[in-house]
Amino acid sequence: MALRTVQQYVESLRDGRTVYFRGARVDDVTTHPVIGVAVRHAAIDYQMAEDPAHRELATLTAPDGERYSRYYQVPRSAEDQIARSALIERATAAGGTLVVLIKEIGTDALFSLLRTASAMDANGSPEYLPRVEAFYRHCRSNDLAIAVAQTDVKGDRSRGPAAQVDPDLYVRIVERRSDGIVVRGAKAHTSVSTNANELIVLPTRAMSEADRDYAVSFAIPIATPGLVLLASAYDSTAPERSPLEFPISARHKMMETTTVFNDVFVPWERVFLAGEYEFAGPLALAFVEHHRFTAVSYKLPLVDALVGAGLLMADFNGISKAGHVREKLVHLITYAETLRGLTHYAASRSRPREYGIAVPDPLYVNMAKYQFAHGYHEAVRNVQDIAGGALVTGPGAEDLESPETARYYEKFYAGRVGIEGRVRLQALSLVRDLVASEFAGYQEVLAVHAEGSLEAEKLALLRSYDTKPALDLVRRLARLDEGGIDAPGLAGQRQPAEKRNPK
Ligand SMILES: Cc1cc2nc3c(=O)[nH]c(=O)nc-3n(C[C@H](O)[C@H](O)[C@H](O)COP(=O)(O)OP(=O)(O)OC[C@H]3O[C@@H](n4cnc5c(N)ncnc54)[C@H](O)[C@@H]3O)c2cc1C
C-alpha cells in the first residue's frame, strides 16, 4: 500500500493515543467536536490524492510501479522543488488558506534527517543512515501522516539546555539501554500531532558538549506509551460556528499540542541522533532550510486571499477609484507577488547538498519568509481599512437566518449600485474570518512565530548572503586596493597621479 483512502487515514487515528483537551482525556480524536475539525481538514491530503483533478500533482509512480504521495519525493532538482511548492500551494488553497501539513512538515524532517545521517555516515557514524532510510520507506509505503516536534519549551531563553534550572525543559536522554533510549521533557507548539500517525523529534538548536544528552532525534508512533499530547485551547469554537458566519474557520483547523515525553522508550532502530552534539546544529538547520521553503509555499494562498479581499471590498464599497485605496491595493499586490517571486526564484536556484538532496536557495527562502512575516500585519491592516468597521459590528448567522432581523441587514448593508446587502454581508463574513476573527489572530501569531521567529530569519539571511561581490564592488569604487581614495565631492577634479601618489 502506498496510498491510503480518507477512511483508512481516519481509522488509523483510533489507536489509544493519549490526548487531553481542556483538561479532559479525549477518547477518539476523529469524533471529538474540536479535534475532529482538524482531522477533516487534514483529510484533504488523502482526498486530493484520489481526486482526478489533483492526482497528477499529488502523486507519483515509483520505478517499481507503486503510486505514492508526491510529498515523499526526495527532491533531486529545482524542478522537483518547484512541483513540491506547487502541490503545497494547491493543497493549502483547498484548505481554505490553511496549510494541511500532515505530510509537508514530516517530509521536511525526513529530508533533513537523510542529509544529516549521510554527513554522519561520512564522519564515522554509519549506523544512522540505514535507520533513517528504513523509516523513510516505512512512512512512504504506508502513506503516513507525520508531526514534527522541534521547538522545546526552553525555559530561560538566555540559557542553553544543560544550564536550565529544571533539566527537563529541553527533551533529553535519561537512560541508554541495550535495546534503545529513554527520553524525558516536553516540546511546544507541535502542529497536527493529534491527527498524525508518527512524531519525528528533532533538536531545536546547536548544542555544546555539556548538552550531549539533549542532542537527540528519533521517531515514534503517536500512541507510544508515555507520550502525552496536551491540545491547544486557542480558537476552539469551530464546531459551534456557522459556515455562513465563518466560511473558513468553521471547516478548517490545525491543532497544536504541548507534547510531553514521560520517560518514553525509543528502540534503537528509531533513534537518529543520540549524543553527537556537533550534529544537533546542522540537523536543526537542515530542517529549517526545508521547512521555511515549505512555509513560504503555503503562505501564498493566504496572501492571495488578502489581495482578493481588498479588491472585492473596495469594489463592493464603491471606493475602487479612491487614491488611498488604490495605494493600498498596490501595496497588497506587491506584497503577495514579491512573496511569490522570491519563492519561485528560491526553488529555481535549488542546489544539491548532502545525500544529493536539492535544497532551495536559503537566501531567497529567508528573504521570502521575512518579507511575509514582517509585512503580514500591515497587509491585514490594509484589508481592514478598505473593508470597514462592519467586520466587527455586523450580524451573526442567526441574524441573517431570521426574517425579523435579516430584512434590516439586507436593506441597510447594501453597497455600491448593484450590490445588495445580502451579497455584501456574505463577502464581509469571509473577510472577517480572514482578518478579524480568532482564526485571524491565530494567523497573525503564526506569521510572526511559526517556522522560526523574525530574528531567526534575519540571522539566516545574513548567514546566507555572499558579502564578497558587494564588498568587492565598493572596494573597487573606493579604489581601496589601489591605495588611493577620491575625496567625496571631488569627482571630476582629480589631481595628477604624481600629486596623489608622490612616490
Ligand atoms: C501556530 C504555530 C505552529 C507551530 N508549529 C510547530 C511545529 O509543528 N513544530 C515545532 O517544532 N514548532 C512549531 N512552532 C514553533 C515555532 O517554530 C516557534 O514558535 C518559534 O520558533 C518561536 O519559539 P517560541 O514560540 O518558543 O518563542 P520564543 O523563542 O520564546 O521567542 C519569543 C521572543 O524571544 C526572542 N528570543 C528567544 N530566544 C532568545 C535569545 N536567546 N536571545 C534573544 N532573544 C531571544 C525571540 O526572537 C522572540 O522575539 C509553531 C508555532 C506556532 C505559533
Q: Classify each residue of 346-357 as buried b or exposed e, where b means 16 or more C-beta atoms within 10 Å of its C-beta.
A: bbebbeeebbeb
C-alpha to C-alpha distance for 315 and 424, rounded to whole angstroms: 10
Would the CB of 151 count as within 6 Å of ligand 1?
A: yes
Q: Cα of 188 to ligand 1 centre, how many Å?
A: 9
Ligand 1 contact, 148 CB (< 6 A):
yes
Dist. CA 252 → ligand 1 center (Å): 23
Question: How many CA atoms does the CB half-sphere of 37 hold within 13 Å?
Answer: 20
* Residue 191 near ligand 1, beta carbon < 6 Å: yes
Q: Do 343 and 297 contact (CB within 8 A), yes or no?
A: yes
Question: How far does residue 2's CA lie from ligand 1's centre (Å)?
Answer: 34
The residues facing 358 across adjacent strands are 352
Q: Which phi-psi region, left, alpha or beta, contains residue 23 (left: φ > 0; alpha: ψ -120 to 50)?
A: left
Report the separation in Å between the CA atom of 42 and the middle of ligand 1, taken as the mean of its atom positions.
23
Antiparallel, parallel or unpaired: β 198-201 and 216-221: antiparallel
Residue type present at position 425:
L
Query: Does 149 sit in the ligand 1 pocket, CB within 6 Å?
Result: yes
Best residue among 453, 457, 458 to mutate for probing ligand 1, ranked by most atoms within 8 Å of CB: 453
278's torsion region: left (phi>0), alpha (psi -120 to 50) or beta? alpha
Q: In DSSP terms, which residues pair with 388 in a beta bridge?
A: none
SS3 label, residue 152? strand
**Homologous superfamily of 283-464 in CATH?**
Butyryl-CoA Dehydrogenase, subunit A, domain 3 (1.20.140.10)
Question: Which amino acid, residue 343?
Answer: T
Going residue by residue through the chain, which has 503 residues, state the pLDDT in tens, using 9 for 90 and above. 789 999 999 999 999 999 999 999 999 999 999 999 999 999 999 999 999 999 999 999 999 899 999 999 999 999 999 999 999 999 999 999 999 999 999 999 999 999 999 999 999 999 999 999 999 999 999 999 999 999 999 999 999 999 999 999 999 999 999 999 999 999 999 999 999 999 999 999 999 999 999 999 999 999 999 999 999 999 877 778 899 999 999 999 999 999 999 999 999 999 999 999 999 999 999 999 999 999 999 999 999 999 999 999 999 999 999 999 999 999 999 999 999 999 999 999 999 999 999 999 999 999 999 999 999 999 999 999 999 999 999 999 999 999 999 999 999 999 999 999 999 999 999 999 999 999 999 999 999 998 888 999 999 999 999 999 999 999 999 999 886 555 444 444 444 444 444 43
Nearest residue by C-alpha to atom 1 in ligand 1:
446
Q: Is the CB of 449 under 6 A from ligand 1?
A: yes
Q: What is the dihedral of CA 462, 467, 470, 476, to 10 degrees?
A: 150
Ligand 1 lined by 400 (C-beta under 6 Å): no
Cα-to-centroid distance, 181 and ligand 1 (Å): 27
pLDDT at 483: 65
Query: Strands 198-201, 146-149: parallel, antiparallel or unpaired by DSSP?
Result: parallel
Burial of 217 (0-12, 13-18, 19+ CB in 10 A): buried
Write the CA distances from 337 to 73, 98, 202, integer angstroms: 27, 19, 33
- In the prediction, which pLDDT does 288 show? 96
- Which residue among 105, 256, 443, 449 has the greatest number of ligand 1 atoms within 8 angstroms of its CB, and so is best to mutate? 449
Distance separating alpha carbons of residues 94 and 81, to the nearest angstrom? 20
Ligand 1 centroid distance, CA of 108 (Å):
18
Pairing of strands 227-231, 18-21: parallel
> Cβ contacts of residue 171 below 8 Å, gap of 6+?
149, 152, 183, 184, 185, 186, 187, 201, 214, 216, 261
Distance from Cα 458 to the centre of ligand 1, integer Å: 14
- Ligand 1 midpoint to CA 448 (Å): 9
CA 27 – CA 19 distance, rounded (Å): 8
Closest ligand 1 atom to residue 452 Cα is: 21
Reported as a single tens digit per residue, the pLDDT across 195-231 is 999 999 999 999 999 999 999 999 999 999 999 999 9
What is the rounded CA–CA span in Å between residue 470 and residue 264? 51
Terminal-to-terminal C-alpha distance of the chain: 81
Residues 6+ apart with CB under 8 A from 115: 286, 353, 354, 355, 357
Q: Where are the domains of the chain?
A: 283-464
Q: Residue 491: helix, strand or coil by DSSP? A: coil
Ligand 1 centre distance from Cα of residue 384 (Å): 27
Q: Which of 148, 151, 156, 366 to mutate to test the pocket of ligand 1 (most atoms within 8 A of CB)?
A: 151
- Residue 484 has a pLDDT of 54
Cell numbers for 198, please give them.
508518527
Judge if the beta carbon of residue 321 lies within 6 A of ligand 1: no
Name which residue sits closest to atom 46 of ligand 1, judged by CA. 453
40, 196 Cβ separation under 8 angstroms: no
Q: What is the dihedral of CA 10, 14, 20, 24, to 10 degrees?
A: 110
Cβ 129 vs Cβ 115: under 8 Å: no
Which cell is 18 given?
Answer: 493519549
Q: Which helix (H) or strand (E) holds 184?
A: strand 180-191
Q: Whose CA is nearest to atom 12 of ligand 1?
A: 151
Is the CB of 422 within 6 Å of ligand 1? no
Q: Cell numbers at residue 219, please?
A: 521517531
- Rounded to 5 degrees, φ, ψ at 21 are -130, 125
C-alpha cell at 487: 575625496
Place of cell 537566501: 363
Distance of alpha carbon 368 from alpha carbon 447, whole angstroms: 12
CA 320-321-325 angle, 5° bins: 65
Alpha helices in 66-212 (DSSP H): 78-94, 104-122, 128-141
Paired with 24 in beta bridges are 21
pTM comes to 0.94
Give me the residue label for grid cell 464546531: 239
What is the C-alpha to C-alpha distance for residues 21 and 215, in angstroms, rounded to an integer? 30
Picking from 195, 258, 191, 263, the residue whose alpha carbon sits closest to that of residue 226 is: 263
HEC profile of 260-305: EEEEEEEEHHHEEEECCHHHHHHHHHHHHHHHHHHHHHHHHHHHHH
